[in-house]
Amino acid sequence: MKVSHEPSVRDRLASIECDVMNGLTPFQRATVEHISGLYANGQRRVLVADEVGLGKTLIARGVISKIARLRESEGDDLVKVAYVCSNASIAAQNISKLAIDGEVQLASADSSRLSMQHLKIARERGDDELKARYIQITPLTPGTSFSINSGTGTMHERALILAVLAYDDRFGKKTGRYERLSCFMWDKRRGSSPGSWNWWCWRAAEDVRLARAGDPERKERAGYPYDVLGRVDGELEESDGITLRSLCDYLDSGDCDRRYERRAINDLRRAFAKVCVDMLSPDFVIMDEFQRFHNLISEDDTETSMLAKRFLGGETRVLLLSATPFRMYSTDAELDSGGFGDSYHEFLEVMDFLGEGSAEAGEKFRKIWGDYTLSLRSLGSGSCDVVTIQPLKNEAETLARSYIARTERQSTGELGPIVDNSTHVTQVHVSPEDIKAFVRMRGLMREAGIRRGLMSADFIKSCPYPLSFMSGYKLFRELETRTAKRPGLVSANKRADGGLLWLRKWDVSYYERLRVHNARYQALLSDIAGEESVHAERLLWVPASRPYYRPSAVSPYSNTQGFSKMILFSSWAMVPPSLSCLLSYEYERRNVLKLRRATGKEYRYFKDEEDRGDEASDSQALPYRRIRFDRELMFVNSPHLKSRSRSCGAPCVDGLPMSCQKHLG
């Protein structure tokens, strides 16, 4: 056996911390030192609200090095770090950046399902190599870790639950209950084969057996998985759902109630998730861009919030990362829509979380912040002056610094020159069609009988072709429901639409220039894709802002000085998909025109264009997943009706395939 005499991570923590801190800029080091001081003084929750691009992930890396030293002084033999972010792909990218040493163990983002963490924890109990690595970083995502929906989970998850339950004498393989339990845990309606389910059951049983064999706490009917079984039984007894006793009664009855079985599986998943939350007990939790899963820090009574409270409670230290932890303000339209909360309420909710839900701390903050706010309001009336406000401002800032660390670009000179174009305002030219789109949308809703909650003008102004991109909104679903029995209403509006509310498939199919009647979109398009723009469609990568080498005269980057990224903000969920689709289409259209001129060939947006007249083949067209085309009008009033002919070889009448004639009515 080869014995390594190299010092472990724990032995090298001091030098590792020194290397990590030396790799940070002065303002990043100052932020890390400030956070470390707060943790050492008993504060357990801190927010880093640095502006975008200032290296919040690197700051978190520095904090990990400090936490490791702190936990070592507190006698911890393994530092467990949980990294929570919005999705698994981001987690896979960022956890490698958080590793302060090559020996730090990085868990896979694929194994982040919360109800299955007990197996991973059991395997680690006797893992001396893991303890030598000393630091473990586990990625978690809210969608799979904290949100237990009403479904039955994955096959692997159900098989692992069955493997643990098999150690309970009431569900052992020697009893008839095991086979019946396995049958409904299979959930064959999900489409899996018996062979696939049996393989997962075998694998899960082997995983549990091996984990138990390596458990140093293993005794007769003790250790893993008996400790998990006892906790799950207790959780189920305290819940309002099924219990293991009632599950035995159901299996003995011989009934086949699919609704009960799905509810039983869901209750078991919830119980295992709660047990795993208690078993994880991380030392340090990093919540990256937490505003995307704000419900994890809210004080509501949802199960997601309750799981998060158990996960983040106790002595766990938490670091929130976000440049925009709460909205700066709420518009009247947002408040009227009911889909957005009050921005001030969001701010107080974040501060309550940082104060660990303490009523005393929350009341103190509200009083100090409220006094400061009132003094600012009275400044304009002359009843208060700057000298009077200054002590209130200092008190509010001191209190905020005990929770929050924020660096702004203009407060540091370490990032090179700052270009301030805050005085530059793009002129937006509103056309009559912009107004017509709003009027036509209001008219369609009135005709459909939707009287309440008519959308604001800002809703229409934010996105071109709203009915092609707003499928996720309640308003759109209600509009579909109301017009289902009145198909003529939609057809009539589409014929009179003129490309205001619906995107016309025919134009996209032939790579025509879209007549987008939206002033904001036109201003954006002119800014990033106008005649004087860099022509980003020619670039495979964004050019370096501070290049190591000067580009040559024939380089693709030779005329890209000043080109950079642009950040767009919107309160409407349909804006990102609409802009990404329309701008991507515009750049693709320009490249296709160049190909047409170079090759003399015709190009179509859709594959197998001759089949697109058949509704059954719509699922094969990529844009149908996100865009609702004006299907009934895609051949009406089109310049291609007489002038274009199809190259697909299908029989044509007036330039159209026979399969498309039904659309002409």
Asked whether residue 378 falls in the same domain as residue 245, the answer is: no
Residue pair 101/127 in contact (Cβ under 8 Å)? The answer is no
Contact 79, 286 (CB under 8 A): no
> Mean per-residue pLDDT for 230-255?
90
CA distance 377 to 392: 13
Mean pLDDT for 116-135 is 85
Number of domains in the chain: 4
Q: What percent of the chain has pLDDT over 90?
A: 18
The residue with greater pLDDT, 390 or 426, is 390
Give the residue with greater pLDDT, 5 vs 655.
Answer: 5
> Are the C-beta atoms of residues 129 and 71 closer than 8 Å to each other?
no
Query: In terms of pLDDT, which residue wins out, 277 or 534?
Result: 277
* CA–CA gap between residue 314 and residue 280 (Å, rounded): 12
CB atoms within 10 A of CB 357: 14
* Mean pLDDT of all residues in 323-351: 71
d(CA 83, CA 94): 9
CA 142 to chain centre: 8
Count of residues making up the chain? 665
The answer to whether residue 382 sits within a structural domain is yes
Q: Does 503 share its domain with 402?
A: no
Tokens found for residue 355: 């104060």
Query: Which residue is listed with tokens 């998985």?
Result: 225
Regarding whether 573 and 443 lie in a shared domain, the answer is yes
d(CA 295, CA 308): 9
DSSP 544: P
Task: With CA atoms as reference, report the closest residue to 501 among 589, 613, 633.
Answer: 633
In a shared domain, residues 309 and 342: no
CA distances (Å), origin 626, targets 351, 517, 576, 631 = 37, 20, 11, 14
Band the pLDDT of 453: cuts 50, 70, 90. low
Report angle CA 297, 302, 305 to the nearest 5 degrees. 25
Q: In terms of Cα–Cα distance, which of 613, 596, 620 is closest to 656?
A: 613
Q: Which of 146, 115, 139 is nearest to 295 (CA)?
A: 146
The DSSP string of 308-336 is: HHHHH-TT-EEEEE-S-SS-S---HHHHH
Position 557 in a domain: no
Q: Which residue has the higher pLDDT, 16 or 474?
A: 16
Which runs of consecutive H residues, i.e. helices, occur in 99-220?
Answer: 117-124, 128-133, 142-145, 155-165, 177-186, 194-213
Question: In the predicted model, is pLDDT for residue 425 greater than 80?
Answer: no
> Could you report the per-residue pLDDT of 259-286, keeping only the tens digit for each?
888 899 989 988 998 898 888 889 999 9
Mean pLDDT of 514-534: 80
Question: What's 55's domain CATH number?
Answer: 3.40.50.300
pLDDT, mean over the chain: 78
Say how far apart CA 65 and CA 18 lie, in whole Å: 9
Whether 132 maps to a domain, the answer reads: yes
Position 300, amino acid? D
Say whether pLDDT at 20 is over 90.
yes
Which tops the pLDDT comparison, 413 or 176? 176
Please say if the pLDDT value at position 642 is more than 50.
Answer: no
CA 388, 392, 394, 396: dihedral to nearest 10 degrees? Answer: -160
Q: Are residues 121 and 37 in the same domain?
A: yes
Residues 373 and 518 in one domain: no
pLDDT tens digits for 581-616?
888 888 888 888 888 888 888 888 876 544 444 433
Q: Using pLDDT thresholds of 50, 70 and 90, give the confidence band for residue 29.
A: very high
**503 and 631 together in one domain:** yes
Residue 316 shares a structural domain with residue 388: no
pLDDT of residue 612: 42
What is the torsion angle, in degrees rounded to the nearest 10, for the CA atoms of residue 153, residue 158, residue 159 and residue 162? 170
Helix or strand or coil: residue 300?
A: coil
Q: pLDDT value at position 56?
A: 92
Is the distance from CB of 175 to CB of 240 less than 8 angstroms? Answer: no
Q: At what angle do helices 155-165 and 258-280 cross, to 10 degrees?
A: 80
DSSP 296: G
Which positions ≥6 away from 371 have C-beta within 8 Å?
392
Domain match, 572 and 449 both: yes
CA distance 110 to 630: 40
> Is 556 among the domain residues?
no
Over residues 433-441, the mean pLDDT reads: 81
Unique residue bearing structure tokens 């003529």: 488
Residue 172 lies in a domain: yes
> What confidence tens digit (pLDDT) does each residue in 61-70 have?
999 999 999 8
Q: What is the per-residue pLDDT for 638?
A: 34
Cα separation values, 405 from 27, 34, 36, 319, 410, Å: 11, 8, 11, 11, 15
Q: Is residue 198 part of a domain?
A: yes
Give residue 617's pLDDT. Answer: 39
CA distances in angstroms from 469 to 444, 501, 578, 619, listed in the order given: 16, 10, 6, 17
pLDDT(452) > 70: no
Structure tokens at 44: 């357990």
- Claim to verify: residue 572 and residue 617 sit in the same structural domain: yes
Nearest C-alpha neighbor of 104 from the set 128, 75, 83, 134: 134
- Give the count of beta carbons closer than 10 Å to the beta carbon of residue 376: 13
Report whether pLDDT(198) > 60: yes
Sign of CA dihedral 144, 149, 154, 160: positive
CB 566 within 8 A of CB 528: yes
Burial of 365 (0-12, 13-18, 19+ CB in 10 A): buried
Q: At what angle do helices 244-253 and 226-238 cross, to 10 degrees?
A: 90
- Quick: pLDDT tens for 78-109: 899 999 988 888 888 888 889 898 888 887 76
Q: Where are the alpha helices (DSSP H) in 2-141?
A: 13-22, 26-40, 56-73, 88-98, 117-124, 128-133
The whole-number pLDDT of residue 613 equals 41
Whether pLDDT at 442 is above 60: yes
Task: Return the bridge partners of 318, or none.
Answer: 45, 285
pLDDT at 109: 61
- Indicate the SS3 state at residue 138: strand
Mind listing the pLDDT tens digit for each residue in 544-582? 776 767 777 777 777 777 677 777 878 788 888 888 888
CB-CB contact of 71 with 283 (8 Å): yes
Q: Is residue 6 part of a domain?
A: no
Whether residue 473 contacts residue 339, with contact meaning beta carbons closer than 8 Å, is answered with no
401-422: pLDDT as tens digits: 888 998 887 655 555 555 555 5
Confidence of residue 60 (pLDDT cuts 50, 70, 90): very high
pLDDT for the residue 496: 67
Contacts of 372 (CB under 8 A, 6+ apart): 389, 392, 393, 395, 396
Contact 330, 52 (CB under 8 A): no
- Average pLDDT over every residue of 16-43: 92
Last residue of a domain, one of 276, 308, 341: 276
What is the pLDDT at residue 460? 73
Q: Which helix (H) or strand (E) holds 245?
A: helix 244-253
Where does a domain end: 264, 296, 321?
321
- 352 and 315 within one domain: no
Are 76 and 172 within one domain? no
Q: How confident is the model at residue 637 (pLDDT cuts 50, 70, 90)?
A: very low
Domain span including residue 466: 432-533+567-664
Question: pLDDT-based confidence at 643, cuts 50/70/90?
Answer: very low
Residue 538 counted as domain residue: no
Element (H, E) at 259: helix 258-280
